[in-house]
Every structure is written in structure tokens, then in C-alpha cells.
Structure 1
Amino acid sequence: MTAARLVATLGGVGLLRPGPGTWGSALVLPLVLLGPLPCLVLAALVTLAGFWAAPRVLKADEDPGWFVADEGAGMLLALAALPAPSWIGVALAFVTFRALDIAKPWPVSWADRQTGALGVMLDDLVAGAIAAGALLALQLLWPGALG
């Protein structure tokens, strides 16, 4: 397996069935233990790696299920919104991110329609940012709600 394919599949996790995007999102969940700033830095690194890998492994306007670097980056963005790890916070981040990624409401759907590596990566980054915003809003409205 090439380096680009390893990045794209997050070490092969994207080849798991069913639901490779869910597996890719779940893979990064333990990283919440590192804290918000490391999750944000890792989200940026996975994003850069995904943008590097995409043109090397994908055909034009292709977004196959096995490409899960985008899910890892988006999930890390959502996890970065948690002030401290808790099972409630991680579960809410995971469910919110996956729901947005699967349902693709606007602006996630707009991002998904972009072409090339931008479209592959951007929809999950937008979903992760929206999930993070929702988690931050929940914390403001209901302090202590996330554990």
C-alpha cells in the first residue's frame, strides 16, 4: 500500500465494512484524551495530509467510501470543542458529526458539491466545524452538560 493510500484510509481503517466513514471517525476518538489544542493541531495535520493524498489516490471528482482522512479530520475538529474528555461529550461529538456528515444539510451539502480534493475534504471539515460550534453553544447554554 502506498503512503498516500495509507493516509487516505487512515492506516487501512477505510477498508473496513460496513460504514468506513464511521470507522474512520471512531479511530480518532481516543485522541480526545490529549485535549482540545492537540486535537485542533491534529485536525490541521490530518487535513493537510488528506489534501496531499487525495490527488494521488483519487480519480477526478471521485469520493469513495474508503477515503476516510476527511472523516478523521472533521471528527478531530468536533473533539477539539470539548473542554475535557467525558463519555457524554465524546458521544455527542461523534453522533453530531456523523449525523451532519451523513445527512449533509447546508452548508455541508454545498461543500460536498465542490470538485477534486477540496470537495472530498471540505464537507467533513464543515460538518466537524458545525458539530464543534454546536458543542460550544451547548456548553455556553448548559454549563457542565458535557460531563
Structure 2
Amino acid sequence: MTLSRFRLTKWQHFLALGFGSGLAKTAPGTVGTLVAVPIVALLMWLGSAYLLGFIMLGTLLGIYVCEVTTIDIGQPDHAAIVWDEIIGFAITMFLVPLTWQYLLLGFLLFRLFDIAKPWPIRWFDKTVHGGLGIMLDDVVAGIAACVSVHLIITLISGG
């Protein structure tokens, strides 16, 4: 499918495509996650309540915008839809100290879980469809990455 079916002038497409970042010719999910880094860092700096609010509202909004976009383009889960990566990365960084090292660690772990899709992420990816399915596997990948980041932080700090 050509990218011409996406309409950045339609706010649902603009958001689902991660402000257009999903239109990257290579690795759109990684590019979408890169777009998430400064957004998430700002929300972390503002405080965990802001990040949590973004996660909750962004997840619900994401289900809607991803569903609308897939219906409009006639394809169930196009790689250009990257709002799920933005929310997945936000989940990854929840209650993680704001340092560039932890942002990098969270980025790498989230991309690893999102690309490799170990169980149960793969199950959600294959079983749940539509906007909910698009969001859910990245929510679960974000949770797995978040737990991993916190475990690594605990190990590094000695306990």
C-alpha cells in the first residue's frame, strides 16, 4: 500500500502517524519511538502525575485514532502507525529517574520487546485486532520494558 492514503490533515491520522514520524522510509517504529523521547523526558521532568496522565489519555485516544486510521486506509496495522510506540515508550519510563542513560536504556529495551515480541506480547499482537490490538501489544511491551529498567536500576544500585 502506498502512503498516499494517509492524510496528515486529518487529526486522527496525524496523531496515529506520530506527528508524521511514522512516514519514515526505514524503521518507522524506531523513528516514532525517537519522537517520543523528548515528549516523555519533558513529562518526566514535570512529574510522574503528568506522565501517568499522558499514558492513560494517550492509550485511550490511541485506541480511537489507530482504529479510525486503519479503517480509513483499509489496512489493519500499517507500520506507519506509531502512536502505540509513543505510548509504549512512555509506559517504559514510568517512575524511572530522568537521566540520559536511563532514557537510552528504556529506548533500547522497549524497542527490543516491541520488535522481538516475546510471549505474551506476541499473543496480544496476533489475537487482539483493531485499534485496541494496535495499542495493546505496545502497552504490554512497555510494561515489560519498564519492569526490566526498574530491575536493572535495582541491580545497579545494589538492592
TM-score when normalising by structure 1? 0.89
1:34-113 → structure 2 map (5 Å cutoff)? 34-35=43-44, 37=48, 38-59=50-71, 62-83=76-97, 85-113=98-126
**CA–CA distance in structure 2, aligned partners of residues 61 and 123 of structure 1:** 17
Query: In the comparison of the two structures, how many residue pairs are matched?
Result: 143
Among 131, 140, 157, the alignment partner of 1:126 is: 140
Unaligned 5+ residue runs, structure 2? 1-8
TM-score when normalising by structure 2? 0.83
Question: Is residue 2:28 matched to residue 1:16?
Answer: no
Note if contact 1:51-1:118 (Cα within 8 Å) is conserved in structure 2: yes
Query: Which of the two has higher C-alpha Rg?
Result: 2
What RMSD, in angstroms, separates the aligned Cα atoms of the two structures? Answer: 1.7
Runs of 4+ in 1 over 4 A off after TM superposition: none
**Bigger share in helix:** 2
Unaligned 5+ residue runs, structure 1? none
Note if contact 1:43-1:72 (Cα within 8 Å) is conserved in structure 2: no
Note if contact 2:32-2:82 (Cα within 8 Å) is conserved in structure 1: yes
**CA–CA distance in structure 1, aligned partners of residues 144 and 75 of structure 2:** 24
Note if contact 1:61-1:116 (Cα within 8 Å) is conserved in structure 2: no
Secondary structure class of the residue paired with 1:140? helix
Structure 2 letter corresponding to 1:124: D
